[in-house]
């Protein structure tokens, strides 16, 4: 490995993935179970200290998080329902302990950056990244940078048409009931059909409904952002044929009104978060 080395931290609700790398290559990696903030951050800091010197560290975090550089809680996880993690400073302890600049964004914005730099949107001028698993998360790169705004995208909580005659399931989101995530993330599938979604056969009607719901949410994102590329991944998309069905539904819903972007699988798979964190660190050094 040549050139400056960077630290990358994918801060997830169940595990923290710590790595060091240069370019797009990761040279060392450690996974830590997400326990308490103090314990988990201390283990991450120890990992990065053991790999000093690092030019910068990037963090791709679960959220919601505070991205406003003028805010007194910039660098914090803010209102997460995860016990013990609401109002937790992530960037501050890392910066103080390591003495390097710390890049900071949502896991899904970081994944969007990584898929555009090294993955399935390499040749695209912008990208939306959507992951469908225990929740639905979306990140986006527009005009060359991740979308922040007042907070950051929370696409999973958008409202989509829900025909209660065809699907009486009330929705699984504790905040919004039948929002996109409440209708189409893995817990919604499990609750609607009474079994883990991975045990539903390919020809189960669950998958036609799932394709329709995923397309309804994607169409709204497409009509709002007009992304040149959509990268659609996450555990639920591991189902054979589902991505193709989503594509067909999106085309039908747009109805030829505007051009629709290619919708593709991630190329970086479960590396998009940690590679996104690496990209955030490298972007700091470029400024």
CB of 158 to a second copy, least distance (A): 4
CB of 254 to a second copy, least distance (A): 8
Q: Give the nearer residue to a second copy in terms of CB position, either 41 or 264.
A: 264
CB of 238 to a second copy, least distance (A): 25
Comparing CA positions, the residue from 282, 253, 234, 235 lying closest to residue 60 is: 282
The separation between the first and the last C-alpha atoms of the chain, rounded to the nearest angstrom, is: 22
8 A C-beta contact, residue 239 and residue 207: yes
The backbone region for 148, taken as left when phi is positive above 0, alpha when psi lies in -120 to 50, beta otherwise, is: alpha
Q: Where are the alpha helices (DSSP H) in 106-204?
A: 107-118, 180-184, 186-193
Q: Give the nearer residue to a second copy in terms of CB position, either 11 or 127.
A: 127
8 A C-beta contact, residue 54 and residue 284: no
CB of 285 to a second copy, least distance (A): 20
Q: Give the nearer residue to a second copy in terms of CB position, either 126 or 234.
A: 126
Reading the block at residue 247, the tokens are: 């594509």
- A 10 A CB-CB count for 220 gives 16
* Alpha-carbon gap, residue 144 to 141, rounded angstroms: 6
CB of 180 to a second copy, least distance (A): 9
Q: Give the nearer residue to a second copy in terms of CB position, either 161 or 194.
A: 161
* Alpha-carbon gap, residue 175 to 244, rounded angstroms: 30
CB of 263 to a second copy, least distance (A): 12
Q: Give the nearer residue to a second copy in terms of CB position, either 51 or 176.
A: 176
Q: Give the nearer residue to a second copy in terms of CB position, either 147 or 172.
A: 147
- Chain residues that interact with a second copy, rule: CB under 8 A: 64, 79, 125-126, 138, 140, 142-145, 147-162, 175-176, 216, 219-221, 223-228, 253-261
* Segment (H or E) for 218: helix 205-225
- A 10 A CB-CB count for 238 gives 14
């Amino acid at each position: 490995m040549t050139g400056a080395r960077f630290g990358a931290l994918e801060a997830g609700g169940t595990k923290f993935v710590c790595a060091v790398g240069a370019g797009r290559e990761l040279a060392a990696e450690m996974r830590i179970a997400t326990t308490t903030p103090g314990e988990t951050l201390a283990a991450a800091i120890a990992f990065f200290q053991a790999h000093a010197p690092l030019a910068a560290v990037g963090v791709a975090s679960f959220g919601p998080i505070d991205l406003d550089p003028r805010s007194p809680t910039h660098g914090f996880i803010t209102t997460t329902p995860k016990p013990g993690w609401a109002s937790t400073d992530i960037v501050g302890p890392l910066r103080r302990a390591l003495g390097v600049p710390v890049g900071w964004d949502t896991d899904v914005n970081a994944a969007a950056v990584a898929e555009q730099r090294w993955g399935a949107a390499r040749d695209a001028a912008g990208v939306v990244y959507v992951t469908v698993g225990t929740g639905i998360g979306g990140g986006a790169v527009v005009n060359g940078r991740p979308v922040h705004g007042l907070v950051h995208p929370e696409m999973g909580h958008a409202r989509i048409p829900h025909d209660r005659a065809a699907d009486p399931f009330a929705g699984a989101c504790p905040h919004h009931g039948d929002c996109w995530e409440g209708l189409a993330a893995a817990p919604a599938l499990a609750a609607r059909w009474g079994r883990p979604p991975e045990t539903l056969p390919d020809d189960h009607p669950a998958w036609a409904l799932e394709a329709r719901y995923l397309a309804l949410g994607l169409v709204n994102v497409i009509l709002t952002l007009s992304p040149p590329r959509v990268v659609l991944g996450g555990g639920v998309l591991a189902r054979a044929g589902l991505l193709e069905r989503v594509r067909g539904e999106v085309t039908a819903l747009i109805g030829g009104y505007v051009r629709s972007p290619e919708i593709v699988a991630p190329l970086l798979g479960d590396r998009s978060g940690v590679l996104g964190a690496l990209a955030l660190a490298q972007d700091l050094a470029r400024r």
